Structure 1
Amino acid sequence: MTLTLVKAWTAAKDRLKDAGIDQPSIDARLMLEVAAGVTRTEIVTDPYRELTAEQVATLNDYLDRRAKREPVSHIIGRKGFWKILLQVNKNVLTPRPETEVIVDEVLKAFPEAMPFSMLDLGVGSGTILLAVLAERPAAKGLGVDASDEALAVARDNAANLNLDGRAALLRGDWTAGLGDASFDLVVSNPPYIPTAVIETLEPEVRDHEPRLALDGGADGLDAYRLLAPEILRVLKPAGMFAVEIGHDQSKAVEALFRDAGAGEVRTVKDLSTYDRVVVGVKNPLETGA
């Protein structure tokens, strides 16, 4: 039996729905696009195009994997974020819409033509760093990560986006070895999930995302305790920071940054109205005190 694009999409949606997958229609379309080498528009405008036997086999393999709760981003090897498309795999966190709050706050603070230097701690696939650099052509940035595998993904993404000339990537332990007052902007999406909570997460996250990028210690705050004073150390006076947080961590993370000497500390909510990002500045050097 021949399988057309519209029949393949419908059958894939039904199969994923039966498997209990959230958003089966979207997942089915994304996998069909890659398996059949088509765009979303082509599925709509040329619905009766027939798939080859090889394309059907590829789609069925994708559906088998998704039914076992492997993330779509890992299956197709890519994920959209902000205005860029990123390669992803099991060695990096899948970019999430909530993290776009950081990009939005940064772009509000740094006009398009302004040259500035940024640091992305725990850069992963390059998500935040590359999204900002793509929007701010006068900026340059450094991404640091403890994972060689994650850095390999980030390097590929930087090259694919023609941003490798402005994005340096370094294996390191957070800010170790970085000089004082070196950056105008520091961003981070550190691990913030309490250790005991990880086993309760959806299988897509619990079984397929790198544990190093998830586990924030007993209360989820281990990374912030280390990062708050270190981010203030490497920021230039009046420099800005923005860090992603868990939905119930606003007060604790704000306090850590205030105690480290940050000013104008506030929390920004995501589109679901959850507390999502703590932002602030390094107080300018006092004179005549």
Structure 2
Amino acid sequence: MKPQFLGEAVNGTVREAYVEASSFLEACEVQDARIVCELLLQHVLGVSRSEMLFMWSEKFPAARATSWREGIQRKAEGEPVQYIIGETDFYGITLGVGPGVLIPRPETELLVEHMMHEAVRLFGQGAELTLADVGTGSGAIPVTIARHCPAWRVYASDLSPQALEIARKNAARCGVHEQITFFEGDLLRPFIEGRIAVDVLVSNPPYIPAREIPSLQPEVRLFEPHLALVGGEDGLEPYRRLCEQLPELPKMPTLVGFEVGMGQAEDVAALLRACGNYEVHFVKDLAGIDRHVIGVQI
């Protein structure tokens, strides 16, 4: 059990409260404790980073002391800071997140960027396309693409009603709710049953093998939804099922993009080639890992 954060420095200045809390989180072995502490402080005070620094020598607001202590304690116990503050940044926008959805990762920003680039290369700038995002979670992918591609008709599906509620709120928050249609359902089933012809298909499905869950970082293993993490015994089950379902769509998507786990790219590429006439290439993440499998119909 983690020690209790007393937060006695809230009787002093904002800086003193920050120093006490960041030292406490470091003692609790929280990664990037000072950065996390800054984010929590900005959230509790309701200010930007520059505004927070201007308040550095001011007395800590007594009305915010309880929220401050609670936030620091939750972080010390391993909860992701994004869940505590209720939001995260993704590709230049701010999205709401909560325990019902996976926290969007920087790797997925690369997938979004590459899919938009490939679509322009294949169809031309300003083309009116139909996009389907499968397993949308927080809605990070469809919301971002809808903002950057206003001519596209965007659909998104998820098996979790809780995730869809968050995704719909993010679409409204970012002003693209009229451009996106959300479906509750398993993988491609809503698109098959709705006879929706898709030009661009993208998915960041669960891909962690079940046996690896115990070895994940505690803040992932204990707080993020396993429905969005576990991809069966070998992590490839969602891709198998997606590739089995693809031929049931009214037409095969011209462009397909999957995010995959480390070491899975070749296996997923083989599944995609087997289900359709796709030329496949990989996109590496910032660590040099083949993170995205991109298929173009030839």
TM norm structure 2:
0.90
Question: Which letter maps to 1:185?
Answer: V
Aligned twin of 1:10: 19
Question: Which letter maps to 2:198?
Answer: F
| Aligned-partner SS, 1:174 | coil
Distance 1:8 1:192, change over 3 A: same
In 1, Cα distance between the equivalents of 2:250 and 2:292?
18
In 1, Cα distance between the equivalents of 2:267 and 2:145?
27
Aligned twin of 2:151: 138
Residue in structure 2 matching 1:66, options 63, 68, 75: 75
In 2, Cα distance between the equivalents of 1:92 and 1:235?
30
Aligned twin of 1:119: 132
Gapped regions of structure 1 (runs ≥ 5)? 284-289
RMSD of aligned residue pairs (Cα, Å) = 1.7
Question: Which letter maps to 1:197?
Answer: E
Aligned twin of 2:261: 246
Residue in structure 1 matching 2:172, options 159, 171, 174: 159
Aligned twin of 1:173: 186
In 2, Cα distance between the equivalents of 1:102 and 1:224?
16
Contact 1:143/1:168, CA 8 A, preserved across alignment = yes
Distance 1:16 1:233, change over 3 A: same
**Is 1:230 equivalent to 2:245 in the alignment?**
yes
Aligned twin of 2:285: 270
CA deviation after TM superposition for structure 1 residue 25, in Å: 1.6
Residue in structure 2 matching 1:43, options 45, 52, 64: 52
TM norm structure 1:
0.92
Distance 1:235 1:120, change over 3 A: farther
Distance 1:249 1:48, change over 3 A: same
CA deviation after TM superposition for structure 1 residue 54, in Å: 2.3
Aligned twin of 1:287: none
Gapped regions of structure 2 (runs ≥ 5)? 1-8
In 1, Cα distance between the equivalents of 2:60 and 2:130?
48
In 1, Cα distance between the equivalents of 2:12 and 2:279?
58
Contact 1:114/1:138, CA 8 A, preserved across alignment = yes
* Number of aligned positions between the proteins: 283
CA deviation after TM superposition for structure 1 residue 177, in Å: 4.1
Aligned twin of 1:108: 117
| Aligned-partner SS, 1:129 | helix
In 2, Cα distance between the equivalents of 1:36 and 1:232?
52
CA deviation after TM superposition for structure 1 residue 12, in Å: 2.3
